[in-house]
């Protein structure tokens, strides 16, 4: 039986999605605030790890206290893949907006709960147990937070501005760190070190509740993304292909059909987040515990570095829209491989200016990764599986990256070698370089499974013309290949006595 070939409708100007600028700004604000809250907790936790070690693990030596506190930070990463799978499937089924509202509630309540836990001297072993429970609740919610937020921004952004818009998501991450670290310094300075150790460390965690309420309000006011709404409309119209593209797809199918994208996603997330956690979570403890700077002194240096990163972050995203995402991943990885040792030699120099220079080198390298990650990851998967696939790959990678503070502290403690974090980063740089060389360029292209998106009608016309020009070029290339094959065929026919043209 001969099946009728389905007629493909030419892409017209009406098929290009015009993004409402006001809605785009609201989407970026709401997504970035939730991400800022996630990293606010990470920042506070990293900067008060020394205090948490003494409050929740008082009988251990100072070195073991630090490792135990950082281990409590790392263990929740084991549950993040479960949260990623859970929220990923729900996000592909019910939409991005609803899931982001749920994750911010769980995240704010669990962060707030850390500030309420009594110390070890009050309730004994239940203190570290409750701390771990709160951190695991955080890990479960965060499993769907960053990926959902990056998808939300990517699906709301015009194709030509996706890098710039996506860069504001990690701008929120860095801003959350700055807020958390600045709050730690401010509270410590106001109440004094003794009061800070007794109760002052709890105050930053309490701020998570009002931040969560604001984030929930902003996210509930948003509409669903245009890309996901297109997918829903296709399903409602009873399109067979749309029905086949439903959310019921296993991770095994994702791994077999999209394995290149999965590997690229894993490599990019590992390179970015290991550098992230090394610089922004582990370094405050490294400066205070290993290099014997006062906690406030080390925190002030990191805060200054992060403020500088805030200015660089959107510039990286803007440039990636012009030059592509791959160059930043490749250059950042090469820089990390070559400059990790020099950067840590500067950090260990005992000279403030040189310490700042060493940290600044790592910060600029980190900006090269964070400037493109939020725009690169969502572009690797089609709409109908984007949340599930990205959340799975992202959180598998986080299992490795989340161990960074604990492994770095353990390596330095056991070896006595202060350069171990640099060697750690060099290994990660190789992963990043391989990823950058093998990943596909996605800048200025529509998301997979979505129609082109533009900022205005003039840009839509330009995108449509580029699309048609690209089709013409591909047709010419195919025609050239056909002509070459026809010439080869003619030559072979001429060599055979029984085949005539």
Residues 6 or more apart whose CB falls under 8 angstroms from that of 356 comprise 301, 304, 305
Query: What's the pLDDT score for residue 221?
Result: 74
pLDDT at 247 > cutoff 70: no
State pLDDT tens for residues 287-327: 877 777 776 676 678 788 888 899 999 999 999 999 999 99
pLDDT of 303 reads: 81
Cα distances from 410 to residues 67, 71, 345, 403, 476, in angstroms, run 7, 10, 19, 10, 59
187 pLDDT more than 60: yes
| CA neighbor of 39 nearest in space, from 308, 388, 370, 378 | 370
Close Cβ partners of 432 (under 8 Å, ≥ 6 residues apart): 267, 268, 270, 271, 272, 329, 332, 333, 336, 369
Contacts of 57 (CB under 8 A, 6+ apart): 64, 65, 68, 69, 120, 128
Q: What is the pLDDT of residues 163-172, one digit of tens each?
A: 999 999 889 8
Q: pLDDT tens-digit profile of 115-170?
A: 888 877 788 778 878 888 888 888 888 777 788 888 888 888 888 889 999 999 88
pLDDT band at 244 (very low <50, low <70, confident <90, very high): very low
Residue by residue, DSSP assigns 160-222 as GGHHHHHHHHHHHHHHHHHHHHHHHHHHHHHH-HHHHHHTGGGHHHHTHHHHHHHHHHHHHTP
- Indicate the pLDDT class of residue 177, thresholds 50, 70 and 90: confident
Residue 493's pLDDT band, with cuts at 50, 70 and 90, is confident
Q: For residues 86 and 99, what is the distance between their CA atoms, to the nearest angstrom?
A: 10
Distance in angstroms (rounded) separating the CA atoms of residues 325 and 453: 18
What is the value of pTM for the model shown? 0.78
In tens, the pLDDT along 386-444 reads 888 888 888 788 778 878 888 888 888 888 888 999 999 999 999 999 999 999 998 88
The pLDDT of residue 403 is: 81
* φ/ψ of residue 160, rounded to 5: -80, -10
Q: Give yes or no for residue 366 having a pLDDT over 60.
A: yes
- Say if residue 5's pLDDT is above 80: no
pLDDT at 63 over 70: no
Give the pLDDT confidence score for residue 277 in this predicted structure: 85
Residue with structure tokens 């070195």? 63
369-388 confidence digits (pLDDT tens)? 999 998 999 888 887 788 88
Strands (E), 429-479: 453-454
> Which tens digit of pLDDT belongs to each residue from 455-473?
888 888 888 888 778 778 8
The model's confidence at residue 66, banded by pLDDT at 50, 70 and 90, is: low
CB-based contacts of 95, cutoff 8 Å, min separation 6: 224, 225, 228, 232
DSSP string covering 369-391 = HHHHHHHHSGGGS-GGGHHHHHH
In order, the DSSP letters of 259-273 are HHHHHHHHHHHHHHH
Q: Which residue has the higher pLDDT, 226 or 324?
A: 324
Distance, in Å, from the CA atom of 167 to the CA atom of 448, rounded to the nearest integer, reads 20
Residue pointed to by tokens 């245009």: 226
Distance (Å, rounded) from C-alpha 420 to C-alpha 169? 31
Specify whether the CB–CB gap between 452 and 5 falls below 8 A: no
- Measuring CA to CA, how many Å separate 209 from each of 118, 128, 206, 388? 19, 22, 6, 28
């Amino acid at each position: 039986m001969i099946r009728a070939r389905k007629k493909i409708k030419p892409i017209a100007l009406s098929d290009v999605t015009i993004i409402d600028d006001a809605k785009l700004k609201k989407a970026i604000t709401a997504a970035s605030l939730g991400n800022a809250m996630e990293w606010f907790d990470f920042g506070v936790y990293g900067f008060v790890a020394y205090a948490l070690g003494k409050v929740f693990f008082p009988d251990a030596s100072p070195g073991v206290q630090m490792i135990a506190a950082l281990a409590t930070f790392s263990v929740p990463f084991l549950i993040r893949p479960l949260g990623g799978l859970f929220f990923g499937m729900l996000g592909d089924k019910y939409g991005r907006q609803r899931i982001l509202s749920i994750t911010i509630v769980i995240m704010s309540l669990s962060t707030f709960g850390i500030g309420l836990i009594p110390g070890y001297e009050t309730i004994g072993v239940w203190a570290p147990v409750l701390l771990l429970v709160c951190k695991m609740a955080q890990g479960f919610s965060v499993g769907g937070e960053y990926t959902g937020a990056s998808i939300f921004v990517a699906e709301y952004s015009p194709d030509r501005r996706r890098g710039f818009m996506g860069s504001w998501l990690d701008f929120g991450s860095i801003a959350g760190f700055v807020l958390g670290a600045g709050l730690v310094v401010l509270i410590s300075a106001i109440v004094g070190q003794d009061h800070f150790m007794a109760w002052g460390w709890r105050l930053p965690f309490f701020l998570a509740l009002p931040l969560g309420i604001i984030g929930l309000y902003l996210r509930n006011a948003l509409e669903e993304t245009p890309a996901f709404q297109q997918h829903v409309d296709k399903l409602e119209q009873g399109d067979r292909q749309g029905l086949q593209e439903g959310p019921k797809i296993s991770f095994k199918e994702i791994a077999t059909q999209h394995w290149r994208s999965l590997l690229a996603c894993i490599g990019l997330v590992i390179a970015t987040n290991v550098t992230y956690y090394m610089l922004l979570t582990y370094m405050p403890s490294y400066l205070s515990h290993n290099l014997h700077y006062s906690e406030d002194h080390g925190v002030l240096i990191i805060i200054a570095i992060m403020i500088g990163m805030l200015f660089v972050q959107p510039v990286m995203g803007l440039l990636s829209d012009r030059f592509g995402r791959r160059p930043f991943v490749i250059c950042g990885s090469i820089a990390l491989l070559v400059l990790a040792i020099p950067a840590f030699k500067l950090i260990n120099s005992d000279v403030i200016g040189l310490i700042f220079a060493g940290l600044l080198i790592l910060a600029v390298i980190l900006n090269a990764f964070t400037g493109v990650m939020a725009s690169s990851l969502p572009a690797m998967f089609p709409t109908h599986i984007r949340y599930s696939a990205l959340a799975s790959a992202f959180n598998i990678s986080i299992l490795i990256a989340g161990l960074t503070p604990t492994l770095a502290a353990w390596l330095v403690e056991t070896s006595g070698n202060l350069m171990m974090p640099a060697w750690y980063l060099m290994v990660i740089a190789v992963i990043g370089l391989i990823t950058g060389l093998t990943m596909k360029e996605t800048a200025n292209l529509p998301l997979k499974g979505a129609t082109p998106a533009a900022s205005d009608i003039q840009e839509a016309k330009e995108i449509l013309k580029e699309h048609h020009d690209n089709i013409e070029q591909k047709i010419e290339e195919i025609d050239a290949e056909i002509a070459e094959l026809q010439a080869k065929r003619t030559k072979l026919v001429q060599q055979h006595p029984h085949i005539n043209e």
